């Protein structure tokens, strides 16, 4: 948690999304301020992951606008690839290239997308790996790392592109419980360091301690958004109370 500024780094207004007749997101308006960590919590199927995928334009919203700083991502003709390069995404499954070294997994987009020379890309990758505590593993293959270490490589890979915003979609859900801690510690460090982050999580401890604000999603709506203190301690919304009683 850090002092976020008032300026929205990411702004969503009136976002809706349906799959066929199934409406998954209903008129979502929310912003993530520069330097803020916003955690998205809520029951399974409430639309958290779909919202995150819309933010990264992996899904196309039916209605509404998404702004990344001053860039209107949902405008007709918007440069989606350029926008995506400014957004780091970390998924539940880390999808590292198994035939490449850890370092190459982190540096590949720096050479292929950003056009950096190989030695500078490696230098940057090693710095990013050091930030997640894995510099010593740079020349290993992903299969020689634990799941938690692989997820930290995926975080380093996203950070290497110097994104404006990091999106985490249940980054620890696929990990064995004993491996979750190290990944959350890296995410906490990022939050404390002022990275702008939107984090879909089932880790209520993380949301309570690391978030600046917590958004509770329910049936495709953003039902509550407030400080962790007010979300977890007061929980006046009955659906939120019910949700928390099941997960805490």
Ligand X SMILES: Nc1ncnc2c1ncn2[C@@H]1O[C@H](COP(=O)(O)OP(=O)(O)OP(=O)(O)O)[C@@H](O)[C@H]1O
Residue 156 vs 204, nearer CB to ligand X: 204
C-beta of 52 vs 110, nearer to ligand X? 52
CB of 232 to ligand X, least distance (A): 18
Answer for which of 47, 61, 88, 228 binds ligand X (CB under 6 A) is: 47
Q: Report the residue from 14, 45, 117, 193 that binds ligand X according to the rule CB under 6 A.
A: 45
24 is a site residue for ligand X (CB under 6 A) = yes
Residue of 4, 39, 50, 166 interacting with ligand X (CB under 6 A)? 50
Residue 52 structure tokens: 């995150």
Q: Least distance to ligand X from the beta carbon of 41, Å?
A: 9
CA distance 30 to 222: 8
Nearest distance in Å: CB 63, ligand X: 16
Interface segment toward ligand X; rule CB under 6 A; list 5-13, 31-39, 48-56, 186-194 = 48-56
**Residue closer to ligand X (CB basis): 46 or 124:** 46
Task: Check binding of 224 to ligand X (CB under 6 A).
Answer: no
48 binds ligand X per the rule CB under 6 A: yes
Instruction: Judge whether 180 and 172 are in contact, CB under 8 Å.
Output: yes
Provide the b/e sequence for 213-223 (b: ≥16 CB within 10 Å): bbbbbbebbbb
Give yes or no for residue 97 binding ligand X (CB under 6 A): no
Nearer to ligand X, 45 or 205 (CB): 45
Closest separation in Å from C-beta 187 to ligand X: 17
* Site membership for ligand X, residue 44 (CB under 6 A): yes
Q: Which is nearer to ligand X, 25 or 190 (CB)?
A: 25
Helix (H), strand (E), coil (C) string for the chain: CCCCCCCEEEEEEEEEEEECCEEEEEEEEEEEECCCEEEEECCCCCCHHHHHHHHCCCCCCCEEEEEECCEECCCCCCCHHHHHHCEEEECCCCCCCCCCCHHHHHHHHHHHCCCCCHHHHHHHHHHHHHHCCCHHHCCCCHHHCCHHHHHHHHHHHHHHCCCCEEEEECCCCCCCHHHHHHHHHHHHHHHHCCCCEEEECCCHHHHHHHCCEEEEEECCEEEEEECHHHHHHHCCCHHHHHHHHHHC
Determine which residue in the list 12, 30, 34, 49 makes contact with ligand X, applying CB under 6 A. 49
For residue 213, state whether it binds ligand X (rule: CB under 6 A).
no
Decide if residue 19 touches ligand X (CB under 6 A): yes
Q: Is 172 in the site for ligand X (CB under 6 A)?
A: no
> Phi then psi for 110, rounded to 5 degrees?
-70, -35
Q: Which residues bind ligand X (CB under 6 A)?
A: 19, 22, 24, 42, 44-50
């Amino acid at each position: 948690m850090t002092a976020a500024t008032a300026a929205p780094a990411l702004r969503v207004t009136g976002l809706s999304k349906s799959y066929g007749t199934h409406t998954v997101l209903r008129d979502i308006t929310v912003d993530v301020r520069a330097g803020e960590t916003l955690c998205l919590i809520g029951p399974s199927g409430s639309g958290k992951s779909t919202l995150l995928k819309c933010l990264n334009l992996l899904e196309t919203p039916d209605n509404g606008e998404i702004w990344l700083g001053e860039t209107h991502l949902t405008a007709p003709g918007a440069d989606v690839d350029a926008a995506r390069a400014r957004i780091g995404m970390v998924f539940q499954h880390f999808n590292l290239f198994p035939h490449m070294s850890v370092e190459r997994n982190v540096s590949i987009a720096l050479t292929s997308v950003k056009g950096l020379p190989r030695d500078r890309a490696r230098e940057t990758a090693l710095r990013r790996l050091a930030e997640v505590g894995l510099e010593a593993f740079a020349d290993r293959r992903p299969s020689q790392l634990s799941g938690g270490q692989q997820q930290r490589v995926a975080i380093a890979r996203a950070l290497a592109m110097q994104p404006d915003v990091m999106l985490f979609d249940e980054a620890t859900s696929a990990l064995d419980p004993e491996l979750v801690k190290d990944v959350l510690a890296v995410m906490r460090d990022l939050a404390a360091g002022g990275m702008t982050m939107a984090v879909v999580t089932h880790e209520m401890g993380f949301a309570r301690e690391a978030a600046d604000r917590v958004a509770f999603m329910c049936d495709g709506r953003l039902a509550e958004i407030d400080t962790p203190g007010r979300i977890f301690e007061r929980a006046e919304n009955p659906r939120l109370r019910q949700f928390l009683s099941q997960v805490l």
